[in-house]
């Protein structure tokens, strides 16, 4: 059974006979048994929201949103923004399937004068939802936008009939498209992503694994963990203001570091593990000399520290905190060399492999990529719908991966600063992403109340290699650079999982 998504129509009603809002960057596709449409809703003339109504037409039969298992950005007062999205569950509404073209009509009202923006997507088709395989339409370069006159509305189609009859009578002809042509308005240039939303494969089963090693030396909950780049050392920080350093080959403790007066929230190794930085809620960062097992330097911050990242050579340390400022510290002098600003708290930061860029994400729901070779100008990447909790560059520095509280992962093309792939497979907030040293695999994790999920992805295709379920909550996690191990903080225990 094949399904083809031929047309997506989004209509705007505005208070003046000119555009008050427009739709850009339409993409569509299917994940497992759910089809989705994603779009940007861009406001003009101060418009901040619209009422969005969704209709679906199959083989001439029209179904409204209240008869479908729709979820996402539709209904009353949908806010203007980037990455608006709704989806529909094929199997829930039509378990026996159906036959014929699929037409989405999305009507957004915000005034008295109707207008419409029509975009067509062509190429491939939606796969049979029972197979578990998905395909994605190729995003075509936009045709000029169209607007209906005040007396012209998108066609209403037929009234809802029997989905079974449409599904079972495959000999009936497809309905002709007799819609009248619409008047055109000046075209707004469209940004076309290099690729549409990613193709996803979905293995049918979770792998439930037990930790290879359980380490229980902390007296209070573990809040942060980290691997050194060569995999020889690991570190964990807790609510008891303590950092423990581990030999990652034997999993024996090599040092217990005390110097903070509050929760240790962030850890980062420099080089091959000779130096460790720890950040805490006491508004301080301590740089530790692990050979001598004492603090080398302490740096005070204005707010609680949330994230740390060393430059590739280990000479500079970036500090993210619960403020709109990200500081870059010269490790040798202890001086602040640069302050980068954002609009809200920074929860995660990452240096690029060449040290020329720094990425940050957090509560402003967008990723900032600062250039460190000039005046600190930032490019803003919008696509997530909630807080961003983790960032990772690919080894060649050409792509950036972000994970967020919206349960999604986005791979950004840094040549075009656009979405390269969007991956969905997690059922809860994505708390960590990492790319293996060889650039072939992407690792990600989410955490639920009593367990967690780790997904290993093929980075090139966006397909899932394996999906692993832990029987322990993942409070924090770090992956070894070769992708063979995951280090998990779960309550007072540190758990080591083998992923290969």
Residue 20 pLDDT > 90, yes or no?
no
> Residue 180: which pLDDT band, with cuts at 50, 70 and 90?
very low
291-301 tens-digit pLDDT: 888 888 999 99
398-409 tens-digit pLDDT: 999 999 999 999
> Are 82 and 383 contacting, i.e. CB atoms less than 8 angstroms apart?
yes
pLDDT at position 78: 82
Q: Per CATH, is 207-498 categorized as 3.90.25.10?
A: no
pLDDT at position 135: 30
**Count of beta carbons in the 10 Å neighbourhood of residue 261:** 11
pLDDT at position 33: 60
SS3 readout for 194-246: CCCCCCCECCCCCEEECCCEEECCCCCCEEEEEECCCCCEEEEEECCCEEEEE
Q: How far is CA 94 from the centre of its chain?
A: 29
pLDDT at position 133: 26
400-456 tens-digit pLDDT: 999 999 999 999 999 999 999 999 889 899 999 999 999 999 999 998 777 889 999
pLDDT at position 206: 66
- Three-state SS for 65? helix
pLDDT at position 3: 42
* Of 302-311, 360-369, 465-474, minimum mean pLDDT range: 465-474
Residue 112 pLDDT > 50, yes or no?
no
pLDDT at position 202: 40
> Residue 252: which pLDDT band, with cuts at 50, 70 and 90?
very high
pLDDT at position 392: 97
- Whether this model's pTM surpasses 0.75: no
pLDDT at position 427: 85
282-291 tens-digit pLDDT: 999 999 999 8
Query: How far is 369 from 143, CA to CA, in rounded Å?
Result: 31
pLDDT at position 264: 97
Query: How far is 65 from 297, CA to CA, in rounded Å?
Result: 60
- The average pLDDT across 229-242 equals 95
Q: What percent of the chain has pLDDT over 90?
A: 44
- Three-state SS for 83? strand
More confident residue, 52 or 499: 499
Give 186's DSSP letter. Answer: P
pLDDT at position 76: 76
Tokens encoding 183: 């008047």
* Of 6-20, 298-312, 336-350, 373-387, minimum mean pLDDT range: 6-20
- The average pLDDT across 64-71 equals 76
> Are 401 and 394 contacting, i.e. CB atoms less than 8 angstroms apart?
yes
- The average pLDDT across 268-276 equals 90
> Residue 113: which pLDDT band, with cuts at 50, 70 and 90?
very low
pLDDT at position 85: 79
325-344 tens-digit pLDDT: 899 999 988 888 999 988 88
Residue 169 pLDDT > 90, yes or no?
no
> Are 262 and 279 contacting, i.e. CB atoms less than 8 angstroms apart?
no
217-232 tens-digit pLDDT: 999 999 999 999 999 9
Domain residue limits, the chain: 5-184, 207-498
> Residue 258: which pLDDT band, with cuts at 50, 70 and 90?
very high
Which position has the token pair 């692990």?
Answer: 290
| Distances, alpha carbon 309 to alpha carbons 187, 327, 348, 440, in Å | 43, 11, 9, 22
> Residue 11: which pLDDT band, with cuts at 50, 70 and 90?
very low
Residue 77 pLDDT > 90, yes or no?
no
SS3 readout for 397-466: CCEEEEEECCCEEEEEECCCCEEEEEEECCCCCEEEEEECCCCCEEEEEEECCCCEEEEEEECCCCCEEE
More confident residue, 64 or 163: 64
Could you tell me which of 293, 302, 355, 353 has the C-alpha nearest to residue 326?
Answer: 302
> Residue 68: which pLDDT band, with cuts at 50, 70 and 90?
confident
> Residue 278: which pLDDT band, with cuts at 50, 70 and 90?
very high
Residue 496 pLDDT > 50, yes or no?
yes
């Amino acid at each position: 059974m094949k399904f083809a998504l031929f047309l997506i129509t989004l209509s705007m009603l505005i208070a003046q006979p000119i555009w008050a809002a427009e739709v850009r960057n339409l993409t569509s596709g299917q994940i497992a048994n759910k089809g989705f449409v994603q779009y940007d809703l861009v406001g003009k003339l101060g418009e901040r929201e619209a009422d969005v109504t969704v209709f679906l037409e199959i083989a001439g039969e029209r179904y409204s949103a209240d008869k479908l298992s729709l979820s996402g950005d539709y209904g009353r007062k949908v806010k203007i923004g980037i990455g608006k999205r709704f989806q529909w569950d094929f199997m829930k509404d039509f378990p026996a399937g159906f036959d014929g073209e699929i037409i989405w009509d999305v009507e957004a009202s915000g005034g008295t004068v109707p207008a419409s923006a029509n975009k067509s997507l062509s190429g491939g088709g939606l796969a049979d939802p029972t197979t578990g395989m998905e395909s994605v339409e190729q995003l075509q370069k936009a045709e000029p936008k169209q607007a209906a006159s005040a007396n012209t509305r998108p066609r209403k189609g037929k009234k809802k009939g029997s989905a079974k009859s449409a599904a079972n009578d495959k000999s009936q002809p497809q309905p002709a498209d007799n819609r009248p042509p619409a008047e055109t308005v000046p075209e707004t240039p469209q940004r076309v992503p290099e690729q549409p939303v990613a193709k996803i494969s979905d293995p049918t089963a979770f792998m439930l694994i037990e930790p290879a090693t359980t380490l229980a030396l902390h007296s209070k909950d573990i809040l942060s963990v980290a691997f050194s780049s060569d995999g020889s050392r690991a570190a964990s920080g807790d609510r008891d203001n303590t950092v423990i350093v581990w030999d990652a080959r034997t999993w024996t403790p090599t040092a217990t570091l005390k110097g903070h007066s509050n929760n240790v929230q962030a850890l980062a190794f420099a080089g091959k593990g000779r130096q460790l930085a720890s950040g805490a809620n006491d508004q301080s960062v301590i740089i530790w000399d692990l050979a001598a097992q004492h603090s080398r330097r302490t740096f005070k911050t204005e707010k609680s520290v949330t994230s740390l990242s060393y430059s590739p050579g280990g000479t500079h340390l970036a500090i993210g905190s619960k403020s709109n400022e990200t500081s870059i510290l010269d490790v040798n002098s202890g001086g602040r060399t640069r302050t980068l600003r954002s609009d809200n708290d920074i929860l995660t930061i990452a240096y690029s492999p060449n040290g020329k860029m720094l990425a940050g994400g957090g509560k402003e729901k967008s990723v900032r990529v600062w250039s460190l070779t000039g005046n600190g100008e930032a490019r803003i990447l919008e696509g997530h719908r909630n807080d961003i909790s983790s960032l990772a560059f690919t080894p060649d520095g050409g792509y950036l991966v972000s994970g967020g509280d919206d349960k999604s992962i986005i791979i950004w093309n840094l040549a075009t600063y656009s979405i390269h792939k969007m991956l969905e497979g997690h059922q809860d907030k994505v708390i960590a992403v990492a790319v293996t040293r060889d650039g072939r695999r992407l690792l990600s994790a989410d955490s639920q109340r009593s367990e967690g999920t780790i997904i290993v992805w093929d980075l090139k295709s966006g397909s899932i290699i394996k999906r692993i379920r832990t029987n322990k909550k993942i409070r924090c996690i770090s992956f070894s650079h070769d992708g063979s191990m995951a280090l998990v903080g779960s309550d007072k225990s540190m758990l080591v999982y083998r992923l290969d």
